[in-house]
Chains A and B, each alone.
Chain A
Amino acid sequence: MIKWLYAIDDIISTFALSVIILLIGFNVFFRFVLNDPIPWTEEVSLGLFVWLVFIGVSSAMKRNSHIGVDFFVNKMPKPFRILCSIIRAAAIYYVLIYVFIYIGYYFTLQAVNKVTPVLKISYQLIDIAVPLGGILTAIHFTRIFIHSFHTQYRQEGGS
């Protein structure tokens, strides 16, 4: 169960990716071979794409694959590096909690009357991926952040 929850971000975003590939691929077939394109391909793919990206942010955080520049920080003396990692964490939490979760939630609430053109899917269903991604990413980031402090502490204790 825990293992399943741990991988929930990967599961959601990989599912979204697979459905997008199948939809767009089949639509070429439907349009070109059967001359009968599926009208809702685009809106469903793009909705899933938003899910893929914002939930995928958590998958990327889990593996530390967000692109940043550690060159300058690594050149700094140790106390400064610790200060940097605290500021860095504060910046990341600001984005996750204030922007993704808080504003993202309000943004989702505002979309109450907005629907997709063909299937009339509520935009709330698409936009909710933003706060949800924020929550998942915050959980994984907290885990990584605590872990990094533990290892640093242990290194210092050992030397």
Chain B
Amino acid sequence: MRMSLTVVLSVLLILFLLNVPISFALIISTAIYFLFTDSYSVTVLIQRMVNGIESVPLLAIIFFITAGILMNYTGITSRLLGFAKVITHPLPGSLAQVNVVLSTLMGGISGSNIADAAMQSKILVPEMEKQGYSRSFSSTLTAATSLITPIIPPGIALIMYGYVGNVSIGKLFLAGILPGIVLCLIFMIYVHFYAKKHNLETDKKEKVTTKYFFFTLKDAILALLLPVIIIGGIRFGIFSATESGAIAVFYALFLGLVIYREMKMKQVVSALVETVHTAASILIIIAAGSAFAWVLTLEQIPQKMTALMVNYISSPVIFFLVVLVFLLLIGMFVEGNVAIIILTPLFMPMIQQYGIDPVHFGIFFIICISIGTLTPPLGTIMFTTCSVTGTKIEDFIKHSIPFLFILIIAALLIAFIPSISLWLPTVLS
């Protein structure tokens, strides 16, 4: 049996290197496993895939992808931008602060960071350049702050982790809020000192009138309400985490068609089509991943790896550090969602051994794995922002170093101060 597993894993690795789509590579390596075993018919492969998909929590993924894409057409972005400008107005480097705050606010309505990074690269980076920021700093800031988006609820990564690891999605949503805010604050502090040092937007500015503040707040409040509705609804048992996704879709339609009236029916249809192919490419990986995970479980891989880990590492502190380094490396080569699907079943028995709360670990996991999106060779966010803003990759890398430090510090804070993630879920449930 050991032989079969070696073949399965080598085939997976080779196909992966040959640019075969991950989902297809997972299916082939699982199919190969069936050549070695007589106990199961090969139709079990399809059965595992279909069963993996037939799950209510997964519906949340398509809902939140739909809601996020629809939100782009509602006109909510420009309103949030206006609000972010008002609240950061008195600070030095206010436009860079806007970049940080807007990512945090967008986290509450959209679940994916690539969309956020692309949007801000388009609308904020040119404006920042006009105010004297260098293009590469503006791009790296945009890319780094977009990592706040996935951990603020609702987030696709949170749902994915919750589904694969069998962890309450409602709790994960609550747990993401404070770490998101912590990240936002750390970035704001950095921007503050950066702006002071480089003398960016440091002159005394006119005060924003209270009237104008409330005017922009009124515009933005409907957007800020969505995470409140989602979390409140789940908390008070009005709807489940999955259903909250459908509510978010209706909310986006309501904003776009009734309140702001900027959305057209044609845009609704194209948003749905966009959702379908984006979602299908992720969900087929989940389907293939659950067939593959079944093989791993059959071979008791998670248990064996846990035994190995516990053998060498006794303290949870060292475990967190090892996982951090491991995820930073994996994140450089593997897309975040894919890593969550494949690695979560391996981590689950380990964190149980170390007595780590799965909700706490989930937030840490998602942050660590996202850091790789900012680094070569496969940094999706890096490529997105660089291609939109026209920044050279070398400049991006040079400017990204302080941000990588910040993110690693944030990951360590979240690892070693569990209450940042666990306080809200404990208090509110």
Contact = CB atoms under 8 A, between A and B. Distances in A.
Tell whether A and B belong to one assembly.
yes
Interface of A: 10, 13-14, 17-18, 20-21, 24-25, 27-28, 32, 42, 45-46, 49-50, 52-57, 59-60, 62-63, 65-73, 84, 87-88, 91-92, 94-95, 98-99, 103-104, 106-107, 110, 126-127, 130
Majority DSSP secondary structure for residues of B touching A: helix
B63 A21 contact: yes
Closest 6 CB pairs of A and B: A56-B280, A66-B21, A25-B246, A24-B246, A59-B277, A60-B281
Q: Considering residues A42, A52, A110, which has the most beta carbons from chain B within 10 angstroms of its beta carbon? A: A52
B93 to A, nearest CB: 35
Nearest to A59: B277
Q: Considering residues A84, A98, A107, which has the most beta carbons from chain B within 10 angstroms of its beta carbon? A: A107
A77 to B, nearest CB: 15
B221 interface: no
Interface of B: 15-25, 27-28, 31, 42-43, 45-47, 49-50, 53-56, 58-59, 62-63, 66, 238-239, 242-243, 245-247, 249-250, 269, 272-273, 275-285, 287, 333-335, 338, 377-378
A66 B27 contact: no
Given A14-B269, A91-B15, A46 B56 contact: yes
Nearest to A96: B24
Given A17-B62, A24-B242, A92-B24, 12 more contacts: A14-B276, A17-B279, A27-B243, A28-B238, A52-B62, A66-B21, A67-B282, A91-B18, A91-B24, A92-B21, A99-B28, A130-B50
6 contacts: A17-B275, A24-B59, A50-B50, A67-B21, A67-B338, A127-B50
A67 B247 CA distance: 29
Contacts of B335: 67
A92 B18 CA distance: 12
Given A17-B66, A24-B246, A49-B53, A68 B276 contact: no
